[in-house]
A and B are shown apart, each in its own frame.
Chain A
């Protein structure tokens, strides 16, 4: 198997497995989660097969034809960056799906849960290995959609629905901006292929000098920021916490929210080394880092604290990827990439701990929790390791990447000069201080202090091993990466960084690297962090007061107003367009028909009533026509429903007689059948209603209806008179093509049928799909009628 096939398998194996989950669930019952975890492990192993090749600096590239008409191929671009996120997505996937076996109750709809998880994992892996921007977009939106389904997993909770909708609107909506950016990129370069652009320095120079440069960058960054909950888009992530906790650990801390960061890293070589890149990327990063870190204080739900902390930590990465200069475009890349990996380990671990605590103590409210260290000592140790890593305490991995963050901040400050020499490092330290404070709050609030015996269950104990081991494994990684950084650095970070800066990279990361400015900044962080921690509750109280006083200073306020406003407008439009009276609909249809038929007929016909009409009608034809007219009059004037319906169907049967006379057996057959069927439907309906018309129809309405029906009749008459003579079609008729090619191309003598099932098979497929939807729609209309009002 070549590497290309291996990666294709790693992407599509989860999709294929998701299809078989409902079937396998019949045999495996609640053990289906282990099957899902096994699939995740297979994907992880498959990426592992190609990893040595990538670590040695080889980029796996291959493509197959996909949409040749627009120049898009299905291609794989596997470099160190893709490999790293692929490893994170599948590796954390294994951990989460194992953990879920303990977390999810056996009464839950497990197949649906694991199907969504696998679909998400496949989309995520597919996105990072995508070698083509359109392909990247499709997988990107697939991750948004699967995230939507996972957040809304508990379908009957309004909060889940709200959170799911919000995340879909913002992340998938942001994806559309990204798509627009990709299309502009295609306009500039003429290519959707990522490798073509990355490996062509002249093309990159061309992009940077192009007038569309800024708008392209902004559009793509909107997509990235929305996905990674940066800037004003951060609001969806806290609401996404309504998802089951393993989902939050997987999607909303370790993987999906990293997609935006991944995108920034992916386009880094194209756009970095410019002022716009620094201002936009670092600007949004620093702003979000400080805002989200600060807002974490007033959260009381431990998952909400973790959500704000995730936003803030993602902003660290954003900031570092934004550090750039003409001489050193990739200043912060290594630090950001390392932090990305570290964050995936300690944050996923913290979420798993949050799940354990909620599972055992039945609450996630930090005001009620406390003193759990005696009841669950192992969980306490695991949580402390992860939280201290986030706070940046040596010798854990968070310390290393935070040191690198401080170092690059100092360098960036130097490069910019002026007040920025201090401002940039100061912002970094402030972000670190907030992180330190809420990290300590997590440990202190859950595990230390006194246990509130009145608020918590009496017997709290350690969770089952299926939940404990995945969390412990992640905590082990946190320590391992901290003590022996060379393992992740050489095998993952260096290849990933090389994939971003496009040249070979050698990093030296050590726990102790002398008395540097970064170390000094770390010391300041710890002292200031502890100081702020003593004032933690009063800061939170101040934020609460502020929020009550100025409710409009909030992005959520505007989000809700826009969404509610849109709902209101939609309702208004629906009331206008669908007033509910069938009579009005028929008027509208007939009015449009008269206009659309009559105007072109008058414009194109040489004369409205052709002169040389043939009045030489055979007797039996005249007889049929006279009977038809009598039946039509009867249908309009009879007072009993049954009689009127039969008169109406008589009209239809006479029409089919005309078809037979005109040698159109297909049409005649269809007409007879449809007529029969509609008569039966009428019979079904009128069996349930009074047999005669009761109310008297006013003369004015009768007159109006007469005018309308006469107008329609005259229009159709003129149209028919001119159909064969008078109107000259501006187009050549298609029928000749079908008549000539029906037998040689499709092997059928019945041209009508060949057109339906072969030449225009696409249309027919669409029509039968609509038919199925209509049937389901009727079902829903009938069965939902009693509900509501």
Chain B
């Protein structure tokens, strides 16, 4: 598993996969994708590095506390749901807004996208948190 070939390929893959996962997250509302798939993709590439390079080596320079990631995600998603109350709507009511941006054209802003970003962080956080803990276990 830790041959030079896998190491090289993994290195090349990391930025591409992360960018792809973000594009999946943002495209999700209208095209295939979404927070869950994007999150799983992100988590798989990080866990791949864990497997290929070894958890200890990765942790020596890159060791985010994944529990904070899922905490943040859950908070963001819940706040989106509560946000509707602040504007006098029912809990979880979603909002769509079309905004004109010069030179680019019209873009669509949906409150559900914020919720999806929360899902993205929860999926990344929980999966990698579990990975890390199982991996660290002797």
A residues apposed to B, CB below 8 Å = 665-666, 669-670, 673-674, 676-677, 680-681, 683-685, 687, 746-750, 752-754, 756-758, 761-762, 764-765, 768-769, 771-772, 774-776, 778-779, 782-783
10 A-B residue pairs with Cβ-Cβ distance under 8 Å, sorted by A, are A666-B37, A669-B33, A677-B44, A680-B51, A684-B47, A748-B112, A753-B33, A756-B35, A771-B70, A778-B133
Please measure, in the bound complex, the distance between the C-alpha atom of A674 and the C-alpha atom of B129, giving whole angstroms: 17
- Asked whether, in the complex, the Cβ of B70 is within 8 Å of the Cβ of A775, the reply is yes
- Asked whether, in the complex, the Cβ of B131 is within 8 Å of the Cβ of A684, the reply is yes
Please measure, in the bound complex, the distance between the C-alpha atom of A753 and the C-alpha atom of B27, giving whole angstroms: 10
- Asked whether, in the complex, the Cβ of B134 is within 8 Å of the Cβ of A782, the reply is yes
A746 CB contacts on chain B under 8 angstroms: 94, 96, 110, 112
B34 CB contacts on chain A under 8 angstroms: 666, 750, 752-753, 756-757
B50 CB contacts on chain A under 8 angstroms: 684
- Asked whether, in the complex, the Cβ of A747 is within 8 Å of the Cβ of B44, the reply is no
Main secondary structure of the interface of B (DSSP, over half): helix
What distance in Å separates the Cβ of A497 from its nearest Cβ neighbour in chain B? 40
- Asked whether, in the complex, the Cβ of A779 is within 8 Å of the Cβ of B133, the reply is yes
Q: Does B15 contact A (CB under 8 A)?
A: no
- Asked whether, in the complex, the Cβ of B40 is within 8 Å of the Cβ of A772, the reply is no
B residues apposed to A, CB below 8 Å = 1, 24, 28-37, 40-41, 43-44, 47-48, 50-51, 67, 70-71, 73-74, 77-78, 81, 92, 94, 96, 108, 110, 112-113, 115-116, 118-119, 122-123, 125-127, 129-131, 133-135, 137
Please measure, in the bound complex, the distance between the C-alpha atom of A750 and the C-alpha atom of B37, giving whole angstroms: 13
Please measure, in the bound complex, the distance between the C-alpha atom of A371 and the C-alpha atom of B113, giving whole angstroms: 72
Which of A673, A762, A771, A772 meets B44, CB within 8 Å? A673
- Asked whether, in the complex, the Cβ of A749 is within 8 Å of the Cβ of B70, the reply is no
- Asked whether, in the complex, the Cβ of A782 is within 8 Å of the Cβ of B137, the reply is yes
Given contacts A768-B74, A775-B70, A782-B133, contact A748 B30 (CB under 8 A): yes
- Asked whether, in the complex, the Cβ of A680 is within 8 Å of the Cβ of B33, the reply is no
- Asked whether, in the complex, the Cβ of A747 is within 8 Å of the Cβ of B133, the reply is no
Please measure, in the bound complex, the distance between the C-alpha atom of A454 and the C-alpha atom of B45, giving whole angstroms: 71
B77 CB contacts on chain A under 8 angstroms: 764-765, 768
Given contacts A750-B32, A757-B116, contact A683 B129 (CB under 8 A): no
Given contacts A746-B96, A748-B112, contact A761 B133 (CB under 8 A): no
- Asked whether, in the complex, the Cβ of B28 is within 8 Å of the Cβ of A750, the reply is yes
What distance in Å separates the Cβ of A350 from its nearest Cβ neighbour in chain B? 45
Known: A684-B50, A750-B31. 15 other contacts (CB 8 A): A666-B32, A677-B40, A684-B47, A684-B131, A748-B110, A757-B35, A757-B113, A757-B116, A758-B94, A761-B115, A775-B70, A775-B125, A775-B129, A776-B67, A782-B134
Which of A670, A684, A754 meets B29, CB within 8 Å? A754
- Asked whether, in the complex, the Cβ of B133 is within 8 Å of the Cβ of A774, the reply is no
Which of A670, A683, A747, A761 meets B96, CB within 8 Å? A747
What distance in Å separates the Cβ of A315 from its nearest Cβ neighbour in chain B? 44
A782 CB contacts on chain B under 8 angstroms: 133-134, 137
Please measure, in the bound complex, the distance between the C-alpha atom of A768 and the C-alpha atom of B80, giving whole angstroms: 14
- Asked whether, in the complex, the Cβ of B31 is within 8 Å of the Cβ of A749, the reply is yes
- Asked whether, in the complex, the Cβ of B134 is within 8 Å of the Cβ of A771, the reply is no
A684 CB contacts on chain B under 8 angstroms: 47, 50-51, 131, 134-135
B116 CB contacts on chain A under 8 angstroms: 753, 756-757
- Asked whether, in the complex, the Cβ of A769 is within 8 Å of the Cβ of B74, the reply is yes
- Asked whether, in the complex, the Cβ of A772 is within 8 Å of the Cβ of B1, the reply is no
Which of A673, A757, A761, A765 meets B37, CB within 8 Å? A673
Which of B24, B112, B122, B126 meets A757, CB within 8 Å? B112
What distance in Å separates the Cβ of A39 from its nearest Cβ neighbour in chain B? 24
Which of B28, B48, B78, B129 meets A753, CB within 8 Å? B28
Please measure, in the bound complex, the distance between the C-alpha atom of A754 and the C-alpha atom of B133, giving whole angstroms: 33
Which of A680, A761, A779 meets B112, CB within 8 Å? A761
Given contacts A669-B32, A747-B29, contact A757 B135 (CB under 8 A): no
A749 CB contacts on chain B under 8 angstroms: 29-31
What distance in Å separates the Cβ of A762 from its nearest Cβ neighbour in chain B? 6
B35 CB contacts on chain A under 8 angstroms: 756-757
- Asked whether, in the complex, the Cβ of B36 is within 8 Å of the Cβ of A756, the reply is yes
Please measure, in the bound complex, the distance between the C-alpha atom of A194 and the C-alpha atom of B33, giving whole angstroms: 52
What distance in Å separates the Cβ of A746 from its nearest Cβ neighbour in chain B? 6
What distance in Å separates the Cβ of A781 from its nearest Cβ neighbour in chain B? 9
Most buried by A among B29, B41, B137: B29
A677 CB contacts on chain B under 8 angstroms: 40, 43-44, 47, 127
What distance in Å separates the Cβ of B50 from its nearest Cβ neighbour in chain A? 8
- Asked whether, in the complex, the Cβ of A750 is within 8 Å of the Cβ of B30, the reply is yes
- Asked whether, in the complex, the Cβ of B78 is within 8 Å of the Cβ of A765, the reply is yes
A756 CB contacts on chain B under 8 angstroms: 34-36, 116, 119
What distance in Å separates the Cβ of A376 from its nearest Cβ neighbour in chain B? 49
- Asked whether, in the complex, the Cβ of A665 is within 8 Å of the Cβ of B32, the reply is yes
Please measure, in the bound complex, the distance between the C-alpha atom of A756 and the C-alpha atom of B40, giving whole angstroms: 16
Please measure, in the bound complex, the distance between the C-alpha atom of A101 and the C-alpha atom of B60, giving whole angstroms: 44
- Asked whether, in the complex, the Cβ of B118 is within 8 Å of the Cβ of A768, the reply is yes
Please measure, in the bound complex, the distance between the C-alpha atom of A761 and the C-alpha atom of B127, giving whole angstroms: 21
- Asked whether, in the complex, the Cβ of B70 is within 8 Å of the Cβ of A757, the reply is no
- 10 shortest interchain CB distances as A-B pairs: A747-B96, A775-B126, A748-B29, A749-B30, A753-B34, A768-B122, A665-B32, A673-B40, A757-B112, A775-B129
B32 CB contacts on chain A under 8 angstroms: 665-666, 669, 750
What distance in Å separates the Cβ of B119 from its nearest Cβ neighbour in chain A? 6
B118 CB contacts on chain A under 8 angstroms: 768
Which of A753, A772, A779, A783 meets B74, CB within 8 Å? A772
Please measure, in the bound complex, the distance between the C-alpha atom of A687 and the C-alpha atom of B2, giving whole angstroms: 12
What distance in Å separates the Cβ of A287 from its nearest Cβ neighbour in chain B? 47
What distance in Å separates the Cβ of A46 from its nearest Cβ neighbour in chain B? 24
What distance in Å separates the Cβ of B82 from its nearest Cβ neighbour in chain A? 11
What distance in Å separates the Cβ of B103 from its nearest Cβ neighbour in chain A? 23
Please measure, in the bound complex, the distance between the C-alpha atom of A694 and the C-alpha atom of B96, giving whole angstroms: 59
What distance in Å separates the Cβ of A123 from its nearest Cβ neighbour in chain B? 21
Please measure, in the bound complex, the distance between the C-alpha atom of A550 and the C-alpha atom of B82, giving whole angstroms: 58
B122 CB contacts on chain A under 8 angstroms: 768, 771-772
Please measure, in the bound complex, the distance between the C-alpha atom of A282 and the C-alpha atom of B6, giving whole angstroms: 82
What distance in Å separates the Cβ of A645 from its nearest Cβ neighbour in chain B? 12
B137 CB contacts on chain A under 8 angstroms: 782
What distance in Å separates the Cβ of B5 from its nearest Cβ neighbour in chain A? 16
What distance in Å separates the Cβ of A689 from its nearest Cβ neighbour in chain B? 13
- Asked whether, in the complex, the Cβ of A754 is within 8 Å of the Cβ of B112, the reply is yes
Residue of A nearest to B108 (CB): A747
B125 CB contacts on chain A under 8 angstroms: 772, 775
- Asked whether, in the complex, the Cβ of B37 is within 8 Å of the Cβ of A680, the reply is no
- Asked whether, in the complex, the Cβ of B92 is within 8 Å of the Cβ of A761, the reply is yes
A754 CB contacts on chain B under 8 angstroms: 29, 112
- Asked whether, in the complex, the Cβ of A670 is within 8 Å of the Cβ of B37, the reply is yes
A674 CB contacts on chain B under 8 angstroms: 40
- Asked whether, in the complex, the Cβ of B73 is within 8 Å of the Cβ of A768, the reply is yes
- Asked whether, in the complex, the Cβ of A768 is within 8 Å of the Cβ of B71, the reply is no
- Asked whether, in the complex, the Cβ of B119 is within 8 Å of the Cβ of A768, the reply is yes
